Amino acid sequence: MAASLFENMLITGARYITNGSVHFVGFHWPMVMARVARRLHAPDAILVYENGIVEDRLTSVFPTSPCDLVAAEGATTCATSLDALYMWLGSGRVRTTLLEAPIVDRYGNVNTTAVGPYAKPKVRLPGSGGGTELGSIGHGLVLVNASTNRRSYPERVDYITSPGYLEGARERAALGYKPATGPKVLVNPLGVCRFDENGEMYLAALHAAVKLDDAKGSFGWPVRAGEVEALPEPTADELKIVREELEHAKRRYYLLPEA
């Protein structure tokens, strides 16, 4: 069976995990991507989690979240949130930061707090956790959004949980955010988006089965397209490993998208 767009997304995201370098991995699909990468091309990737765990090898059991302490099995370091968020992430020691962004806008601002008015939300979501820090001080930030629904890509989010470029890159810089922070890439089932000089998201690459016009229809604003690259189709080996890890995640109570 050919790879689904969702499976394509996991493999595309996994390519941002590089062997030997340090990655800050947030909750949910980024954790699956990191595991896939470790089994494919990045066995020596170093993963750090917000609670202070450094995971430098494949754990025998998939951790359902950074605080599922099977992540600490055989860890080289178990430290604190101050280490993780400030000494590793804020200091720039982390090279790539992966954050799930289920609702994300034109400037890469992420909402994981509330849809509708904050005081009386239509849908209340979890809130920040460490997600704000990933957006505000993380280097090499990769956003992951598993949805292709327009509601997941509003022009402006109702609540900024993890700051992207706010209303533009200049505003972000003026408010004390460090250079080199802020989202670099968004990976979704359609392909990859990047951010221009002003911090606006544009389509940069598409998965093989996706047509440009269809992709544009997923965004709640007239999204621009750069020179759109075609992403490589997953190899049989990549697909096999993604499916094994999704099976594993399911056994660990992950809810998988409907086929």
Partner 1 sequence: MREAVARHVPDGQELLIGGFAFSDPTALAHELIRQRRRDLFVMKTSGGVLVDQLVGAGCVKRLLSCHVWNSVGPVAAHCFRRALEQEKPHAIEIEELSYGAFTMALMAGACDLPFMPTTPVQGAGHFTHRGFMPNKFGVVQDPFGSGPVCVVPPLKPALGFFHVHRADVYGNAQMFGPTGEFRYAMAACRKLIVIAEELVDTERIREHPEATVAPGFMVEAIVVEPWAAHPTDAYGYYLRDLAHHALYGEMTKTEEGFQRYVDEWVIGTGNHAGFVKKLGAERVAELTVRERHW
Q: Which of these segments, 7-15, 79-87, 193-201, 219-227, binds partner 1 (CB under 8 A)?
A: 79-87
The helix or strand, by DSSP H or E, that contains position 99, with its residue range, turns out to be strand 96-100
- Please tell me the distance from the alpha carbon of residue 248 to that of residue 234, in angstroms, as a whole number: 20
Q: 7, 50, 100, 245: which is the annotated catalytic residue? A: 50
| Binders in 229-258 for partner 1, by CB under 8 A | 252-255
SS3 assignment, position 131: helix
Taking CB under 8 A as the rule, does residue 97 contact partner 1?
Answer: no
Taking CB under 8 A as the rule, does residue 99 contact partner 1?
Answer: no
CB of 79 to partner 1, least distance (A): 7
Taking CB under 8 A as the rule, does residue 118 contact partner 1?
Answer: yes
Quick one: which of 34, 63, 66 has its CA closest to 52? 66
Q: Which is nearer to partner 1, 130 or 234 (CB)?
A: 130
CB of 213 to partner 1, least distance (A): 32
- Please tell me the distance from the alpha carbon of residue 107 to that of residue 101, in angstroms, as a whole number: 12
Q: Are 49 and 25 in contact (CB under 8 A)?
A: yes
Lookup: tokens for 220: 């709640």
- Please tell me the distance from the alpha carbon of residue 88 to that of residue 23, in angstroms, as a whole number: 10
Lookup: tokens for 178: 């460090």
Q: How far is CA 72 from CA 10, 56, 63, in A?
A: 23, 10, 9
CB of 247 to partner 1, least distance (A): 15
Lookup: tokens for 258: 């409907």
Taking CB under 8 A as the rule, does residue 51 contact partner 1?
Answer: yes
Taking CB under 8 A as the rule, does residue 68 contact partner 1?
Answer: yes
Give the residue carrying structure tokens 């997304």. 9
How far is Cα of residue 180 from the mean position of the Cα atoms in its chain? Answer: 17
Taking CB under 8 A as the rule, does residue 131 contact partner 1?
Answer: yes
Mark whether 50 is an active-site residue.
yes
Q: Which is nearer to partner 1, 52 or 191 (CB)?
A: 52
Taking CB under 8 A as the rule, does residue 79 contact partner 1?
Answer: yes
- Pairing relation of β-strands 46-48 and 22-25? parallel
Q: Let me know if 36 is exposed, middle or buried by CB neighbors in 10 A (0-12, 13-18, 19+).
A: buried
Taking CB under 8 A as the rule, does residue 64 contact partner 1?
Answer: yes
CB of 233 to partner 1, least distance (A): 30
Q: Which of these segments, 15-23, 34-42, 123-131, 184-192, binds partner 1 (CB under 8 A)?
A: 123-131
Taking CB under 8 A as the rule, does residue 217 contact partner 1?
Answer: no
Known catalytic residues?
50
Q: What is the contact surface with partner 1 in residues (CB under 8 A)?
A: 27-28, 49-53, 64-65, 67-70, 72, 78-82, 85-86, 90, 111, 113-114, 118, 120-124, 126-133, 136-137, 159-163, 166, 171-172, 175-178, 252-255
